[in-house]
Amino acid sequence: MHFHKYEKIWLIFGSGSLIVFLMVLGFAAFWKGTHPQSHIETIDPQNIEAHEAFQAENLGLHEVEDGKYIVNIVASAFNYDLGKDENGDIVKTIRVPKGSSVLFQITTRDVVHGFQVAGTNVNMMVEPGHISRFETVLKNNGEFTIVCNEYCGIGHHLMFGTVEVY
């Protein structure tokens, strides 16, 4: 069978880009640990307090056992509610020791938001009616910015927080 020169070039280009694409996907999934969040559990967005994790006093960081944490978050336009500290001040920073395993549980009462902890593999879509969960091990020291990466309205850029790994 005879292939024209241009046909050959296009075949090589096509197969080449497919291989590059699969390598990028494999690198992100297996090396960087980027996976979609769980969407198994549903919740009534009008009544998220019916779920224990999203009651005001349970928001924010909780140590469940040595080195294992849960962070409960409610996203809404245009804020991440991480609860209040013992002085009653609004929490904007989650602080955990290096090497901790952290389960982020998040839901929203209004529109679709994002929950990305820049510089880590935590990157979730937060949809009304669903609980998004993602567990990760924070291996590196530093301050990581939480950002909303789904355009949710006029104050989209005001949605942020910080995860500090010490």
By the rule CB under 6 A, 165 interacts with ligand CUA: no
What letter does residue 15 receive in the DSSP assignment?
A: H
Minimum gap (Å) between residue 152 Cβ and ligand CUA: 3
- Cα–Cα distance between 145 and 155 in angstroms, integer? 17
Instruction: Compute CA 43 distance to the chain's CA centroid, rounded to the nearest angstrom.
Output: 18
| Total residues interacting with ligand CUA, rule: CB under 6 A | 7
What is the SS3 assignment for 86? coil
CB-based burial of residue 134 (10 Å sphere; 0-12 exposed, 13-18 middle, 19+ buried)?
buried
Instruction: Compute CA 161 distance to the chain's CA centroid, rounded to the nearest angstrom.
Output: 12
By the rule CB under 6 A, 159 interacts with ligand CUA: yes
Please, which residue, 68 or 150, has the CB nearer to ligand CUA?
150
Site residues for ligand CUA, 75-114, by CB under 6 A, read 113
By the rule CB under 6 A, 130 interacts with ligand CUA: no
- The interface mask with ligand CUA, positions 110-129, x = CB under 6 A, is ---x----------------
What letter does residue 116 receive in the DSSP assignment?
A: E
Please, which residue, 75 or 96, has the CB nearer to ligand CUA?
75
Please, which residue, 77 or 91, has the CB nearer to ligand CUA?
77
For residue 78, the one-letter residue type is F
By the rule CB under 6 A, 148 interacts with ligand CUA: yes
Burial readout 136-145 (b: 16 or more C-beta within 10 A, e: otherwise): bebeeeeebe
Minimum gap (Å) between residue 74 Cβ and ligand CUA: 12
Contact residues for ligand CUA, defined by CB under 6 A: 113, 148, 150-152, 156, 159
